[in-house]
């Protein structure tokens, strides 16, 4: 329940002002102060879903998804609706001037006239950067090829801290660091890339991050990627044996989708989590979804299932982020207090 997080994180809205009118492109952009206050605001929204004004009334979101999405598009749109704003949604690039060769930079120039914020998903890494060149309104990267998906990582970390708020407590209340397993390829899965960067902002809460993957350990990181995580204080180890690790892990993050060339491939099916897996009694399982064969439905009814909570919490996390980015934080002070 979000109330644990509200007790643990002291209120100090000041850091959230840094998010005003900011583009959100990468997990790299955040620091602990901003994240803790963002999670606090998200927890406030989640704990009081009906107790806020309509801070985004009069604002228009341009929701441009040029690649399939269930959760990200609909949770952003749900968040924006819940905040009282209006939405224009594009779900197919071929219905826009892009089909006639219009550049994303020119499309971005037009978006400046039509809306107050853009959420973009595209299968090309470069698209968000091209559009950003001409944008004077903020844009959120909702997944750019195999590069990043920062708001998914925000939702993932928010879930972990709701599960164990003592990880960010101070003094005697602080929990021991946890061990996290991440099933996936850091340089081919945008959720994994963004999540590891997010973990690197809270290295003191993690005893170890175990990347579980069958590929050659030397091939799963981009140049400098592992060094960056290690320099931030994260203790990263790579292994291929999921079942050997499971009894030692507090959090297991598994993903289905990796990128190969221009398309997806189901990656996680080589590893399976189900009710027979040797999970620790209190371990939680996270998955950004959509589910593939790697996540048994027989886990859904068990206490290990935190992936549905993860998807639900993303709405409140995105509400908090949008409120800050669109400079309407003062309108939710009654929720905040």
Peptide bond into 290 cis (omega under 30): yes
Binding-site member from 152, 187, 205, 277 for ligand CP (CB under 6 A): 152
Q: Render 294-307 in DSSP notation, one character per residue.
A: TB-GGGTTSTTB-H
Distances (CA, A) of 301 to 183, 274, 297, 308: 22, 11, 8, 11
CB-based contact 307:287 (threshold 8 Å) = yes
Of the pair 41, 154, the CB lying nearest ligand CP is at: 154
Of the pair 149, 162, the CB lying nearest ligand CP is at: 149
**Structure tokens, 176:** 């021991």
Residue 289 region, left (φ>0) first, then alpha (ψ -120 to 50), else beta? left
Binding flags for ligand CP, 269-288, as an x/- string (CB under 6 A): -------------------x
Q: Render 127-183 in DSSP notation, one character per residue.
A: HHHHHHTT-SS-EEEEEETTS--HHHHHHHHHHHHHH-GGGG--GGGPPPPEEEEEE
Residue 72 sits in the site that holds ligand CP (CB under 6 A): yes
Q: What's the distance, CA 72 to chain centroid?
A: 9
Binding flags for ligand CP, 110-149, as an x/- string (CB under 6 A): ---------------------------------x-----x
For residue 71, the minimal CB distance to ligand CP (Å) is 4
Residue 159 sits in the site that holds ligand CP (CB under 6 A): no
Residue 258 sits in the site that holds ligand CP (CB under 6 A): no
3-state secondary structure 104-143: HHHHHHHHHHHCCEEEEEECCCCHHHHHHCCCCCCEEEEE
How many residues bind ligand CP (CB under 6 A)? The answer is 10
Q: Which stretch binds ligand CP (CB under 6 A): 70-78, 103-111, 270-278, 326-334?
A: 70-78
Q: Which stretch binds ligand CP (CB under 6 A): 53-61, 64-72, 225-233, 272-280?
A: 64-72
Residue 69 sits in the site that holds ligand CP (CB under 6 A): yes
**Structure tokens, 314:** 């993303």
Of the pair 16, 120, the CB lying nearest ligand CP is at: 120
Residue 44 sits in the site that holds ligand CP (CB under 6 A): no
Q: Which stretch binds ligand CP (CB under 6 A): 11-19, 68-76, 319-327, 328-336?
A: 68-76
Of the pair 93, 149, the CB lying nearest ligand CP is at: 149
d(CA 307, CA 143): 19
Residue 290 sits in the site that holds ligand CP (CB under 6 A): yes
The residues that touch ligand CP, with contacts defined as CB under 6 A, are: 69-72, 143, 149, 152, 288-290
């Amino acid at each position: 329940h979000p109330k644990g997080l509200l007790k643990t994180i002291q209120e100090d809205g000041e850091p959230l002002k840094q998010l005003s009118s900011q583009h959100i492109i990468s997990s790299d952009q955040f620091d602990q102060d901003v994240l803790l206050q963002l999670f606090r605001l998200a927890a406030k929204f989640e704990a009081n879903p009906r107790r806020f004004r309509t801070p985004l009334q009069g604002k228009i979101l341009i929701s441009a998804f040029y690649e399939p999405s269930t959760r990200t598009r609909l949770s952003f749109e749900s968040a924006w609706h819940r905040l009282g704003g209006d939405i224009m949604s594009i779900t197919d690039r071929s219905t826009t001037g892009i089909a006639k060769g219009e550049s994303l930079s020119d499309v971005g120039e037009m978006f400046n006239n039509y809306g107050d914020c853009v959420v973009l998903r595209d299968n090309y890494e470069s698209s968000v950067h091209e559009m950003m060149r001409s944008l004077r309104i903020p844009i959120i990267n909702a997944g750019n090829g195999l590069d990043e998906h920062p708001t998914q990582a925000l939702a993932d970390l928010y879930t972990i801290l709701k599960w164990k708020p003592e990880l960010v407590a101070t003094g005697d209340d602080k929990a021991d660091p946890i061990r996290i397993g991440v099933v996936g390829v850091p340089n081919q899965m945008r959720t994994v890339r963004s999540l590891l960067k997010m973990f690197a902002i809270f290295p003191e809460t993690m005893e170890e991050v175990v990347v579980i993957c069958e590929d050659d350990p030397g091939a799963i990181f981009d140049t400098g990627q592992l060094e960056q995580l290690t320099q931030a204080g994260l203790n990263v180890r790579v292994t291929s044996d999921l079942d050997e690790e499971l009894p030692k892990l507090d959090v297991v993050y598994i993903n289905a989708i990796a990128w190969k060339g221009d398309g997806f491939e189901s990656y996680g099916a080589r590893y399976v989590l189900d009710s027979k897996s040797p999970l620790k009694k209190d371990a939680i399982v996270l998955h950004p979804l959509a589910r593939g064969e790697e996540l048994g439905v027989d886990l859904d009814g068990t206490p290990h299932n935190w992936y549905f909570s993860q998807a639900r919490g993303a709405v409140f996390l995105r509400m908090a982020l949008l409120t800050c980015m669109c400079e309407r934080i003062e309108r939710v002070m009654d929720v905040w207090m």
